[in-house]
Structure formats: C-alpha cells, structure tokens
Structure 1
Amino acid sequence: MRRKILQLMLVIFVVVALLVVVASFWGYATFKSSLPVLEGEVQIPLLKESVTVYRDSMGIPQVVARSETDAYFALGYLHAADRLFQIDLTRRVATGRLSELLGPSTLYIDRYQRMLGHYRLAKKFVAQLDSQDRERLQAYLKGIAYWVKHTDALPFEYLLLRKEFKPYTMEELMSVLSFQTWFANYLQSSDTRFLQIAERLGREKAKDFEKPYPVWAPFTVPQQNQFSLQTWLFKRYFSEDLLPYHMAHSSNSWVVAPQKSASGFAMLASDPHLETRRLPQFWYLCGLHVNAANLHVLGISTPGLPFTIMGHNGKAAWAFTVGGIDVSEIYQEKRHPQDSTLYFNGHKWYRCQTLVDTIYISGEDEPYILRYKQTENGPVIWTADSMKADYALHWAGFDVNLAKSVQAAFRLAKLDNFEDFRRAVTSFGALDANWTYADIRGNIGYQLGTPIPIRPFKSTKLPVPGWIDSLKWQGFQPLEKTPHSLNPQRGWLATCNNKQDDANLDYPLMGKFAADRILRISELLSQNRKFSVQDMQNFQMDRVDRYHQRWQKILLGVLRQNGRYALADRLKKWDGSMESDSREAALVMLFLQNLKKYMLEDELGEQLKFLFDDRFEQIYLQGPDDYFDDLRTKDKIESREEITNRALQTTLEQWQDRPWGEFLTLTMAHPFARVPLLSNVLNLKYGPIPWGGSEATLNAAFFWEDKQNPGHFKAIVGPSWRFVIDFSDPDQASFVLPAGISGNPLSPYFFNFFEYWKSGKRWIVPISPEKIKQRAKLTLKLTPMTDRE
C-alpha cells in the first residue's frame, strides 16, 4: 500500500512538473510574441504613403515619412510597440483610473487626480484644437490603436493582470498633457506638505520651515553690477562664517556661447533628473523626419504624447529644468456653521459645487463613489472639521488654454530663432520650466516658461483667506517682464532649479528654488578657458558636492569638541567628492541624516523625509532651542549639544570607516520584479549596486532611507537622460538613457544603455538622413495597401 502511494505521489509530481514546464514555455512564447517587428515590411492601410523606420545598433528609431500625419502615425505605432504599458499607466494616473488596473492600493492617487480634474480640462479644450493639431493628434492615436489591434500579444503585464488595453482617446491624451504640466510643479511645490506641517505644528512654527533664496547663491540671468562670479563664489561660499541654505530637486541644463567653446560654435547640455529606480525609464528617444514639412527633429518624448519635449532640429536645441515658481495657491474657505456646503466669498454665502465621480476598482464588486466640493477658488483638497474650514487649491493650469499648449508643443520641433523659442515655451500652459536654448548661428538663451501669477501679497505658503477679493491673483506677468537672457557677455547660462532672476525684475519671484548644484556648475563654467564636448560630458558626471562641504565644517567642530582630533584632521582634507568610494562622504551624510532624525522626527514624523537639507540647516543654526527637545521623552529636555553628540555617536557606530557606496545603493526594477520566479526569468531587477552622488552633485542622486535597513539609503532620482550638442556638427550630438528604449524585458533594447549611463559613455545619434541610413542596423518599412496593389 505504501509503495502504491509513493508511486502515485511520483506520478503527480511528474505531471505537475510537466505542467509547470509547459506553462513556462507557453508563457515565454506568449511574452516573446509581444515583441514588435523591427525589420522587414508591415502593410498598414491607414498610411497615405510609405514610412521607413531606421534603428541603430542601440535600438534608437528614426522615422522618415513624406507627410506629418504619417510621421506621427508611425510615432504612435512605435510608442505602442515599445512602451504600451507605460502609456496605459500614465493615462490612468492622469485621469484617475489607476485602480481599475491595480486595485484599491492606488485609490488615493485616483481620488486626488479626479479632484484636480485634468480630464475635465481636457474635455473643455479638445473642442478648441485647430484643425492641423487635431489631425496630428488623431494620426498619433491611430498609430497606437493600429499596433494594439494587430499585435500577436499585448505586453506581459496585461497577461498577468488579465486586463486588456482600452482605446486611447483624444481626451485622455489631453489629460496626460495637463497632468505632465501639473507634475513639473508638483516636483517642486510644497504647498500641500506645508499645509500638513501647519496643521501639525501650528501656523507660527510652520513658518520656521520657510526660507528666502540665500544671498550667496547665483541666479540664472546675469545680475546687474555683478562682479567676478568666480571670486565671489570662492570668497563667499568658502568663508568660515557663512553657511549656505540648501534646496534641491532635479535637473541641470546649461548653454555655452562660441567665445567659450573650443569649436567656436554654441553648445547645449541637458540632464533632467527624474525617478530612475523603475523600469522602463521615463523618456523615449526618437527622430522624426519629413522633408516636405521642414520637420527634422531628434530628442525625447513621453510615451502617450507626440511631442519632442527636449532635443534639437539641426538648427536649434532646447531643454528644460523644473522652474520652482509657485503656480498654486491654497485658499482657506470660510464654511457656514450650520451648512457645510455653503462657503463665504466675502459678500454672501455661496453653495459649493458638489461633484460626484465613480471610480471602478479591480477586484472590488462595488465602485467607489467620490464626492467632493469645489469653490470658485478650486477643488477642496483638505478639510479641517475642528476649524470648520475647507482648503481649496487653485493652480495656474485652471487658467490657461490647453489647446494652445498643444500648438506650442508642436512648434518646438521647428524652432529657428530665439524669439520663436520664447513665444513657444511661454505658451506651454502651466508647465513650470526653465528653458535653455542654443542655435547654429551661435546664439544662446534662457527663458522662464512658467506663467508667473501676479499676487497682491507676499507668498508665505500658508493658506490665504479665500473670502478676500484683494488677495486673489491678478493675472500673469507679460512676456516682456519674465526672466530671460540672450547672449550674455560672460558667454554661458545655466539652470539647476535655482532662482532665475532678481535685480532685473520689478516684482518678487516667489517659489521654491535650489541653491546647491548651481554653485558647482557656476564654478566650472567660470573658468578662464574654452570648453569642449568632452568637458560638457565630464561636468554632467561630476560628483563634487560644494554644498555639503558646509556640513563638513559643522562636523569638524563637533568632532573636535568630542576629542576626535585625528578624524577631524582627516575630514578637513575632504574635497567634496561624493564618489561611491569616498569614506568622508559617508561620514558627513550619515551625520546629517542622524541629526535630522534626532532633532525633528518627533515634530514631523513621516514628513521629515521631505525636509531638504537647506531648511534643516536654517533650523539647526538659527531655529529655537525647543526643536532640540525630544517630545517623546517627557521627563527631560534635550539640549543642542546633547542631540548633536547623540547624532555623532550613532554615526560613528554606523560608519566604521566604510565608503559611501556601502550605504547608498541603486536598484532598477520593473514593478513586477516582486514576483520571484517571473523576475528571475525576465531579468526584471538590476541591483542593488554601490552608488555615489547626492542631491547637490551635478551627477545627482536623490535618496531616501531604507526602512528595512536604517542608516542605509536607496537612490531614487538621478539623470533621466544626458544630451550634449555642439553645433559645429549636429550629427555628432551625444545621448544616453539610463536603461533602454524598449519596455519589454525580452527585448535586447530593454537595458542595453545602463553601462553607458553608469560609466559616462555616450552614444552618437545623427540627424541628417544620409548619416541615419549609414548607422542603421535595422530597417522597417510601413507600407500602405496601395503600394502593394
């Protein structure tokens, strides 16, 4: 009997094993069938004429067509073929429909996006598109739809989620455009977090977490009567008694004029910083070429939108960083004491508009019914019942014409001069962006593209009484009064999320500005020499952190006070390098992170991770002593010295003379990498690997503490592409992506750029047709049925 049971168990095991093998082969074959055709010929009856797609050995596509509509059809086809799931996720985030795909865990995102109303804005402005823009967008949408309908299999994510791709509509595309302009501001804006801090600590204490742009920090636009920047930087920045305030978030771009260029032509360098831990990465690099329409453009787009948002057309180049301008306002509404649907507008009680949305949730039988209020100031995003107050958000995106944003986005591809550039980038809706420009004629320029609200008050980040008419915005600053610069005498312009201008303006520029990376690039570009393409590329890889050398000085004093003289002498020699092998970098950064936690974790809780080092420094050096008292210890009051020494002790225990790369690591992973077997089969995760840099280095690495491993950090944001062009030869423009052009892990182009990105190596992508053909390794011809007949 026992023998029969063992035989039966063996048979069952063999059958199960065979089923697993068959299922694995079936799954792998299905996944493989989702790969797009990359060469040969595909018959597409929707095309007017043939389109050729050339790919180089790294998989970068270049579209050559005879009409714009065919070119944009092909771009939609390529976006779908390489990044369909990314398109789907982005449109679902923008329209508040992510939970339909991923379940209840994303409901909070859907609720917020529904309240913001990107889809409502899209529906309003779709009807205002001009005929040419509508035709281009429709062609792009048709390209996506055609690939989806005729592919052998959708990307593997749909198979695992057991979902289908629903048609991508014009309203959704416009919603994504609105969302992207909002997201740029969201990266820098702290309005909502500041409101939460004010609710937690009170309005007066919340003011401690504000700060003005520091007097020592450079601006993008050269200032009137400015003396030698290089001397100024070294004297002011390295002085013993001045400590800079630090604010950081993403993105660098700079331009160099012919007189500072080794080639004698203008140069542009760009490396926007976005999340780098998720695969696939954000941008899609592609070229579009239509001779009859004077369209030759090469650069990056967002899958789901047909615009080359950064790049060049052989005659001009453009790029942007996040501006940091405050383009939103939180208004406190006065609620009626007996009726919460009534609010006071300064003259009489008005009834809020009550909006109702239905959110469908994967795995749930019943949808979530979202009811929210909207006042004349905007949607109510926060309610404080104890104060009988609602907080409404007003965003500049509610005041601009989204159809004109589409028009401006298409105009970028054909830029020819600085004035066209200025008009285009300042018509980009509510996109909060610093734009840099260079052209083949030798011009360099800068323009702040953000709509700048005209406020009748000084912004404090605290809620504004919504019932006082005199505190409402009074329109936006006109083009001639916005920060801009053309061909400055010094021969260069740079933007690293720093403040744009001051002396040239007759109004205060309000917002959240970084003052760290601009120090380093200003130091490098102020050198009395001419720069090459290699210099530009080296600067993008630079990991010298001038800001945290300020904390080096603070830590030196603490070490000496604690009798650690040998270590202090060693730290004094640190040159600011944040490379992964730097032990001094690890010491400084660990001390700073521990000091933050011991000082303010009791006050801020989870909000502490959003507190950047500049604001913390201000509180540490100038704030009231009660911030040093740990509220969790009721029987004692901690002093500044006690908290500082406690941070030092913890730091030394953690550090143990190890390099920065043992504390900071980088991992890139697809969201489905959490499925163990699938992750191993498809190679969905890379890392962790030792990493270097900080938010203050040009080769930036923004990081958060690893909750499972205190004292260790995960790099989450870094350069999302690198681009350098010297107009002495536009065909030699260099690019690099963090991972690859494809979102399919079975594609050879899924992760093929990583070693280039990691090491600083670049990939040359030409723009002229003959050079494109010479470098092509794969050629795909999209042919209308009339060609075959």
Structure 2
Amino acid sequence: MRACAATAADGPRRARSGVRRARRLDGSAAAAEYSGAGRARGTRGDRAVRDSCMTDTDERRMPPNRPAARVAGDLAGGRRAGATHGLAQTMASTRNRTRRHLKILSGLILCCALLALVLAAAYLRASLPQLDGELRAPVLGAPMTAERDALGVPTITARDRFDAAYGIGYLHAQDRFFQMDMLRRSGAGELSELFGPIALGVDRDHRLYRFRALAAAAVAHLPPDDLRLLQRYTQGVNDGLAALRARPFEYALLRMQPQRWRPEDSLLVIWAMYFDLQGRLASREFARHWLQAHSTPEQLAFLLPPSSRFDAPLDAPGIAAAAAPVSATAPAWLRDARPATSVNGVSIDGQSAVGSNNWALAGSRTASGAAIVGDDMHLSFGLPNIWYRAMFKLGGGAGPAARVVGVTLPGLPAVVVGSNGRIAWGFTNGYADCLELLPLERDARDPSRFRLGGAWQRARETVETIRVHGAAPVELTVLDTTAGPVREIGGKAYAAHWIAQASGAANLAFAKMIEATGVEEAIGIAAGAGLPAQNVVIGDSTGRIGWTVAGALPDRRAPGEAGARGDGAPSWRAALPPDAHPRIVDPAGGQLWTANNRQLAGDAYRLIGDGGADLGARARQLRDGLTALERPDERAAYRLDLDDRALFMSLWRDRALRVLDEAALAGHPARAEFRRLLASGWTGRASVDSVGYTLARGYLYRLYDVLFGGLDARLKQQQHDADYALANRRWPVVIARLLDEQPPGWLPADAASWRDVQLAAIDRTIDALSANGAPLADAAWGRRNTLRIAHPFARSVPLVGRWLTAPADPVPGDANMPRVAAPRFGQSERLVVSPGREESGLFNMPGGQSGHPLSPFFLAGHEAWVKGEPLPLLPGPTEHTLRFVR
C-alpha cells in the first residue's frame, strides 16, 4: 500500500513539475499550453494509479448495486485503458521530441545555408575589381588613370601605347581573366587542365598543331617594340589578377588557382581565333574530298558551284560564270540515301558559319564629307561577350595627342575594331582557302614513314602531355610531316597543311593600327598583321576608303598553284607577302562592303581562294542598301545593321505557295492551314511575329534534309562536323536548280516526282512545328529565334545559373540578311563611326563589360543591343576613377 501510495502521489508531483517547467518558458503562449497539458496529464495519472492499486478489500467495499462481474470488467478495462493511454502518451512524447529535433535540425540547415550564401556573396564581392582609388605601378613611364562610365567602359589616359597596354591588361585581368584563360588554353590545347576529361577531344585536336611551342618561338623573334608592348601588357595582367582580393569565382567552383599570364599567351589568343574562324576548314576539306571520291567530275561540278547569281563582288556587279549543267544521273549516294529524321543543326541555330558585315562610304557619299565605317562581327554568344570596350587618350603636354576608341579582345594589347580620329576600320571573316588536307600513304612496316606528293619522308615524332583536371595525364603522340601534322579522318591519314603554322601567322603588327594616319598606311599595316585572314575596310577623315585582306594568306602566285596539285603535294609553301595582298582603294561608286562572300570576280580571287564563302544574298542586300543611301549621317547608316527584310526567303515562300495548289490541298487540312498562314502571316521580314517566315524557312531547310540529310549522316559517321552545307555554302542554288530543271535521274529513291519532294518537305515542316499538339498559328519566328546567351557555367551550376544568363528575348533577323540573328549566334557588336566625328559614333553589344555576375556592368547595355537601340560610341560621364602612380 505504501508503494501504491507513493505511486499515487507521483501524479501531482509530475503536474507540479510540469508547471515549474512551464514557468521557465518566460510566460509565452507555448508555455501556457505546456502548463495546461501538464495538469491534465497529472489528473489522468491520479485516476489511473488509483484504479491500478485497488485490493480485494477495496473491491468488497464497492457499492452493492454494482455486480462483481461488472466491477471486475471495469477494473480490467481500466487497466487496459491505462496501459493503452500510457503507450499513447509515450508515443506522443516521442513524436514531440522528434518534431523538436527536426525543427532544430531544419534551423541548423537553414542557418548553414544562409551562412554559406553570405560567405559565397562575400567571396564573390571580394573578386570584384577595384573601381576607385590609387595604385602603385612602378613599371609606368608616367601616371595613368582609368575612368569608367555608367556602363563600365574605361577611358585610359596614358603617356604612350606602352603604358596604355599595362592599363588595359590590368583591366582585362580584373574584369575578364577567366575568358582570357579560356582563350589561351583553347589556342594551346590545354582546356582539360581546367575542365577535366570532357575537354580531351578538343585538346587532342588543338594540340596537334603545337601552338604553345610556336608561340614561345615567335615571342623570341618579335621586333623590340612589339616585345616591349607585350611585356608591359603581361605585367598589367598579372598585377591586375594579383590585386583581386579573391580569385575569380570560376576558379573557386573548379577548385583551381589561376595561372599567371605569360607573353606567349597573347599569341595563343590569336591562335584561338584561328580555331574559331578557320577551325572547320579541315572538315570542309574532308567533305569535299569525299564528294570528289564518290561523284563523277560532271556531278561534282554541279554540286560544288564556285559562284552564284547572288554574289556581290567588289570589282564587278556580279559573277557571270556559266553554271555547270546538271548531269543525267545523280551520284549513287544521293539516290540510295534515306532522308534525315531531323533538321540538321545548321538550319536550326545558324552556327555552322562565323561571319560579319562591314562597309565603308566615301566622303563624297556622306553628309559630313568624311568617310563612314560600319562593322558588326558575327560570332557565338556568351557571357561575358567576346569584346571589351575601351577608349585611350595617349600623349602628354597640355592635352592628349591622340584618342582611340573601339573594342579590344581580352588577352591582346590591341584595338581590334575602332577609330583613332584619322582612320576607322572594321573586320569580317575572309573565308580564305587557308588549309588543305594532303592524302598520305603510310609505310606498312614503319608507321612513322609517309609518302607525300610522291616522295617518302619520316615524320618527326613529339609526345605531348595533356594535363587533365581530376584524372591522370594523357600522352598524345604528334607526327609532323614537312607539310603539317598527321590527322586521321575517316580512317585515312592526311597532312593538315594550314597557314596558321606558317612563319608570321601570329604577331602583334596589327597593334600599330591605332597610329595609322590614312587609308594607304592602314592597308599596309593590316596586310602584314599576323591573324586569321580578315576583310578589313578602312575610311579616313579626308573621305577616302579602302579594302584589303588582313592577316595570313597562302602564297599561290606561282602558275598552277590555285589549288592542290594532282600529285598530292602542297599547293603553297609560305605566306603571301603583305604587298601582294589584293586591295581596292577609292572605288568609283564610293562604297565598299563585305559579308563573308566572294570578294572578287577577277583573277585576283585566286590569291584568296574559297574557304567556304557565303552564298552572297546577305552581301547583295547590304550592297544595295548602301547604294540606296543618300548622303547619310551615322544614324541613318546605322539602320543598315538592322535590315531584317526577308528578300532571299521570299523566293522560297513563292515556291511553296506555287506547289500548294488545289490538288495538293485536297484532303490535307494541315497543308491548307500551312498555305493560309504562309500567305497571311508573312510580314516580308524575319520579324518576331512572322509565322510566314518560319514556314518558308522550314520548307527550305526540310528540302535540304530530304535531299542531303542522308549524305550528312554518312559524312558525320567519319567526321563529326562534316556535312554538305559546309562543303558548299551555295547549296540553296543547287536545290533551286533541281526544282527548276527537275532531272529524273536526281530524284530521291522514295519520291515519284519533284512535286512530291516539295510536298514531303512541307509535310515535315508541319510535323516539326506541330509537335506536342501546337497549332501552326503559334509558330511565330520569335518563338524559335529566342536568345540563349549564358556564361559557360550557367548550366553546370544550377543554383547560380539564373544569375549567369541573359534574358531569353525573342529577336528579329536570320541568316541571308544583314541583321544576322540566332539563339546563340549573331552580331557580337554594332559599330558605326566617322573618323574625326567620334562624338556622333554609335555602338552596342550583347552582354556587358564585366564577366562578374555581381558587377553592375555584367549586362549593362545589353537591353539596348536586343532592341537595336544605338548607344554613343564614346564613354559617358566618369563615375569611377582609378589612378596609377609610379
């Protein structure tokens, strides 16, 4: 009984304990609830203890009106209820404790996440560049300033171009070092050291040419002034990198430390541009070799026309060469090939080619009497943008002696495109014939011996070690012949004979462009520049204009060296001397233009060669747009860059409308809807709201797939990026001739007529655009032509990807018109300027100055580029000033 009494007394003690604990909760509502629950548990506990401690005597003392059996049952039920309630109470208590623990754990996780975000933000801010203040730079010849405007565009005021090279190197490193690192590693074939095995394929291709070794040798032979410029720039880069309070954020994500810049790295940036602008020449050569091996000469002449009716050369109204006749029979590969099951990548995103527009109007054609130069270079999009804007004020005394404004390429101490007040210049890719694949015969008994051009030679063997992040190094054996490294493509060995490996292919001569005073001097500088072959147009303040090919060209002046000789020997031995580069100065019409097209109709074109020249429709539209201008100023001329009239695609719209007659529509409601929208939804432009443009374009590119998709599949099995469109940029002309002449011997095997071929292309367009049940009426061009501009890490780091991506804006424009636009490719800048009138110059570009997502300059100016709104070329009022003292 005493034990029972003690147990019974335990209930009130628990209640009092609960009250005491509740009081310790500072009188909160939660404490009041806890106190009430404790009293309830104490009352229930008293009753349960009392019931469980009854004896037989207690049972006999029960009231007589309660039968014993009932009382026994009540006692048994009470014991069960008490036990059940105790279990429930224990489980509830356990659940409460679990909830409390989960809340604590959740709180800790949230705190850790918040702390991580705070630390990450602090780290990111530590890697932002310094915008204001004073820095010591003993290497300078005089004090220097770097002033930035609201867009982050710097104005560097320096004693001379050597001090300015230090300044722009410092800013490049602080704003864009990761971009610079990517470029030098691309040129050297060292991307795997950053990105691991995923980059091995690119590194193997690029390392074949051993450009790092060539760069080191080239630096050793630079002229003294060029070497001094490069050393000063290198010092600026390394000082700028070291001055960051934290390494650029990309290296933190990669768990790597950035490596210091070396003088040869700047030359590797030039070789990276060779890969970007000429990197597919080998695949083009392979595709043309394959076509030659699997077609008759007559078939090949039709399939690979050297010109078209769209061509707009600089030296003639057009090219009047007679078109090769269509042979009676098609190659077996065309008749037997099955059409591709999807549109090839070229037609979707326009990235099969790199291009640009540039033009110049003579002073006799402009409102001011000075020349006007326009330039928009077409490249792949990314964040940051490839170009870095800058203005330089050079000189001393009472005021600056020179002012240069334009865009630079991080990694190089040069203004790529711009104006110095006396001349202005702009680039487009020249698409020169700068690489040839020479077939090799390998000695079966000695794999290092090859026969090239009828003579046997032993290749020089070098073992290159590719360092791989997170994996063991990979060794690559490079075999070099006298014509170039050995490349295996499609199971065959070739010597890759590329002008990029010639002496002088990469140098800093172009950096002197900022000192040129007139057209003739600028043409001489450009022709001697060590860079990929580029069309350069130049205008000066006196109104003169000129064109030449800047950069390295093969020397094909010797008779019989317009192309590869039949014996397989190289068709050239060295680079063309600068004074032999073709050029045009002060043309009679007062205008010059290039748009990656064939530049010349005459014999001089053999000095350039066809390395994949564009169809010519864009160049013709640009030329005709210039002709129509009447004494324009810069703003009127700028509108040429935004010309999205669909003159070329209207031809294919008309074809589709003609084939969709009543017979074609009968029993085919989808075709009827296609025709209705093609007629009513046509704006005459590649505008974002044009459904008709999407349909006409789809029709053309599905025709390509029906006819050549099977060929592309065969080519890609042997070389991943080879296709017919790469072998022949004039492929629309070939398709048009087939539809016009309707040769029965060229019909695909599964088609009964050329009408069927066209209807099949329309049906495939309908199927593609109606996927997932989408109506054709929703196929506005802007839904497909939506920008996808992002930092390389945007997709691989999901949590921060949204901050590394530009808005997904729909944009007008397409290929075959001046306003070239695709989701990941297009006008990387737009510049219009009259030398000496830079205050009226216009500019915009995608992205912003900074590569840092927390910088206010990360996307500054991007919206203006999307909308096509011109911004001033010159920087605006100063908002930040960084001073460099000795």
TM-score greater than 0.5 by the shorter chain? yes
Of 435, 438, 448, which aligns to 2:539? 438
- Higher mean alpha-carbon deviation, 55-64 vs 602-611, is at 602-611
Q: Aligned equivalents of 2:104 and 2:262: distance in 1?
A: 52
- Higher mean alpha-carbon deviation, 284-293 vs 756-765, is at 284-293
Q: Give the match for residue 472 of structure 1.
A: 571
Q: Does 1:160 align with 2:263?
A: no
In structure 1, the gaps of 5 or more residues are 233-245, 631-635, 703-714, 767-771, 785-789
Q: Aligned equivalents of 2:545 and 2:524: distance in 1?
A: 16
Q: Give the match for residue 95 of structure 1.
A: 188
Q: Does 1:531 align with 2:632?
A: yes
Q: Give the match for residue 376 of structure 2.
A: 271
Of 273, 283, 308, which aligns to 1:214? 308
1:390, distance to aligned residue in structure 2 (A): 1.5
Mapping 1:353-372, distance limit 5 Å: 353-364=460-471, 366-372=472-478
C-alpha distance 57-30 of structure 1, shift in aligned 2 (>3 A): same
Q: Aligned equivalents of 1:82 and 1:427: distance in 2?
A: 31
**Which amino acid in 2 is paired with 1:493?**
L
Q: Tell me, what secondary structure is at the counterpart of 1:671?
A: coil
Kindly tell me the number of residue pairs found equivalent between the two proteins: 729
Q: Tell me, what secondary structure is at the counterpart of 1:438?
A: strand
Instruction: State whether residues 331 and 464 of structure 1, in contact with CA within 8 Å, keep that contact through their aligned partners in structure 2.
Output: no
**Which amino acid in 2 is paired with 1:583?**
V
Of 393, 399, 402, which aligns to 1:289? 393
C-alpha distance 158-82 of structure 1, shift in aligned 2 (>3 A): same
Q: Aligned equivalents of 2:825 and 2:745: distance in 1?
A: 33
Q: Give the match for residue 251 of structure 1.
A: 356
Q: Aligned equivalents of 1:486 and 1:17: distance in 2?
A: 69
Of 633, 641, 661, which aligns to 2:782? 661
Q: Aligned equivalents of 2:473 and 2:565: distance in 1?
A: 35
Q: Give the match for residue 112 of structure 1.
A: 205
1:625, distance to aligned residue in structure 2 (A): 6.0
1:122, distance to aligned residue in structure 2 (A): 0.8
Q: Does 1:309 align with 2:416?
A: yes
Identify which of structures 1 and 2 has the higher relative contact order when contacts are C-alpha pairs closer than 8 Å and 6+ apart.
1
Q: Tell me, what secondary structure is at the counterpart of 1:672?
A: coil
Q: Tell me, what secondary structure is at the counterpart of 1:380?
A: strand
Q: Give the match for residue 427 of structure 1.
A: 528
Q: Tell me, what secondary structure is at the counterpart of 1:587?
A: helix
Instruction: State whether residues 377 and 394 of structure 1, in contact with CA within 8 Å, keep that contact through their aligned partners in structure 2.
Output: yes
1:295, distance to aligned residue in structure 2 (A): 4.8
Q: Deviations over 1:471-498 (max 9, x none)?
A: 5315555555533211212111111111
**Which amino acid in 1 is paired with 2:376?**
D
Q: Deviations over 1:584-642 (max 9, x none)?
A: 11110121222222332222125459557731441463397677537xxxxx5665433
Of 247, 267, 270, which aligns to 1:177? 270
Q: Does 1:141 align with 2:241?
A: no
Of 48, 70, 90, which aligns to 2:163? 70
C-alpha distance 75-41 of structure 1, shift in aligned 2 (>3 A): same
Q: Aligned equivalents of 1:248 and 1:36: distance in 2?
A: 35
Q: Aligned equivalents of 1:528 and 1:344: distance in 2?
A: 57
Work out the percentage of aligned pairs sharing the same amino acid: 26
1:5, distance to aligned residue in structure 2 (A): 2.9
Q: Aligned equivalents of 2:501 and 2:580: distance in 1?
A: 22
Instruction: State whether residues 400 and 430 of structure 1, in contact with CA within 8 Å, keep that contact through their aligned partners in structure 2.
Output: no
**Which amino acid in 2 is paired with 1:743?**
G
Q: Does 1:672 align with 2:793?
A: yes
Q: Give the match for residue 746 of structure 1.
A: 854
Q: Give the match for residue 192 of structure 1.
A: 283
1:691, distance to aligned residue in structure 2 (A): 2.5
1:289, distance to aligned residue in structure 2 (A): 2.1
Q: Deviations over 1:698-738 (max 9, x none)?
A: 11024xxxxxxxxxxxx221111111112462222221121
Q: Give the match for residue 295 of structure 2.
A: 204
TM-score by length of 2: 0.77
Q: Give the match for residue 691 of structure 2.
A: 583
Q: Give the match for residue 439 of structure 2.
A: 332
Q: Give the match for residue 664 of structure 2.
A: 562
Mapping 1:298-697, distance limit 5 Å: 298-345=405-452, 348-364=455-471, 366-383=472-489, 385=491, 389-402=492-505, 405-406=507-508, 408-450=509-551, 451-454=553-556, 457=560, 469=569, 472-473=571-572, 475=574, 477=576, 479=578, 481-503=580-602, 505=604, 507=606, 509-511=608-610, 512-514=612-614, 515-527=616-628, 529-560=630-661, 562-563=664-665, 571=678, 574=682, 576-605=684-713, 607-608=722-723, 611=726, 614-619=730-735, 621-622=737-738, 629=748, 639-653=753-767, 654=769, 656-657=776-777, 658-675=779-796, 678-679=799-800, 683-697=803-817
* Structure (1 or 2) with the larger CA radius of gyration: 2
Q: Give the match for residue 67 of structure 2.
A: none
- Higher mean alpha-carbon deviation, 559-568 vs 135-144, is at 559-568
Mapping 1:670-749, distance limit 5 Å: 670-675=791-796, 678-679=799-800, 683-702=803-822, 715-727=823-835, 729-749=837-857
Q: Give the match for residue 708 of structure 1.
A: none
Q: Tell me, what secondary structure is at the counterpart of 1:309?
A: strand
Instruction: State whether residues 683 and 692 of structure 2, in contact with CA within 8 Å, keep that contact through their aligned partners in structure 1.
Output: no
1:259, distance to aligned residue in structure 2 (A): 1.9
Q: Aligned equivalents of 1:180 and 1:672: distance in 2?
A: 21
Q: Give the match for residue 706 of structure 1.
A: none
C-alpha distance 652-764 of structure 1, shift in aligned 2 (>3 A): same
Q: Give the match for residue 239 of structure 1.
A: none
C-alpha distance 29-200 of structure 1, shift in aligned 2 (>3 A): farther
1:190, distance to aligned residue in structure 2 (A): 3.8
**Which amino acid in 1 is paired with 2:174?**
A
C-alpha distance 308-351 of structure 1, shift in aligned 2 (>3 A): same
Q: Give the match for residue 242 of structure 1.
A: none
C-alpha distance 191-453 of structure 1, shift in aligned 2 (>3 A): farther
Q: Aligned equivalents of 2:705 and 2:406: distance in 1?
A: 42
**Which amino acid in 2 is paired with 1:664?**
N
**Which amino acid in 2 is paired with 1:75?**
I
Q: Aligned equivalents of 2:134 and 2:409: distance in 1?
A: 26
Q: Aligned equivalents of 1:349 and 1:401: distance in 2?
A: 28
1:782, distance to aligned residue in structure 2 (A): 1.6
1:353, distance to aligned residue in structure 2 (A): 1.2
Q: Aligned equivalents of 1:144 and 1:506: distance in 2?
A: 41
Instruction: State whether residues 806 and 847 of structure 2, in contact with CA within 8 Å, keep that contact through their aligned partners in structure 1.
Output: no
- Higher mean alpha-carbon deviation, 555-564 vs 70-79, is at 555-564
**Which amino acid in 1 is paired with 2:820?**
A
Q: Give the match for residue 880 of structure 2.
A: 778
C-alpha distance 351-82 of structure 1, shift in aligned 2 (>3 A): same
Q: Aligned equivalents of 2:684 and 2:723: distance in 1?
A: 25
Instruction: State whether residues 125 and 402 of structure 1, in contact with CA within 8 Å, keep that contact through their aligned partners in structure 2.
Output: no
Q: Aligned equivalents of 2:118 and 2:479: distance in 1?
A: 52
1:379, distance to aligned residue in structure 2 (A): 0.5
Instruction: State whether residues 736 and 762 of structure 1, in contact with CA within 8 Å, keep that contact through their aligned partners in structure 2.
Output: yes
Q: Aligned equivalents of 2:353 and 2:180: distance in 1?
A: 29
**Which amino acid in 2 is paired with 1:534?**
R
Q: Give the match for residue 244 of structure 2.
A: 151
C-alpha distance 504-331 of structure 1, shift in aligned 2 (>3 A): closer
Q: Aligned equivalents of 1:80 and 1:502: distance in 2?
A: 44
- Higher mean alpha-carbon deviation, 645-654 vs 127-136, is at 645-654
Q: Deviations over 1:552-575 (max 9, x none)?
A: 232122222624789758746856
Query: How big is the alpha-carbon RMSD for the aligned residues of Structure 1 and Structure 2?
Result: 3.0
Q: Aligned equivalents of 1:396 and 1:743: distance in 2?
A: 33
1:23, distance to aligned residue in structure 2 (A): 0.7
Q: Aligned equivalents of 1:370 and 1:528: distance in 2?
A: 56
Instruction: State whether residues 184 and 433 of structure 1, in contact with CA within 8 Å, keep that contact through their aligned partners in structure 2.
Output: no
Q: Deviations over 1:368-414 (max 9, x none)?
A: 110121111101122555xxx510111112223257x31x2221111
1:689, distance to aligned residue in structure 2 (A): 2.6
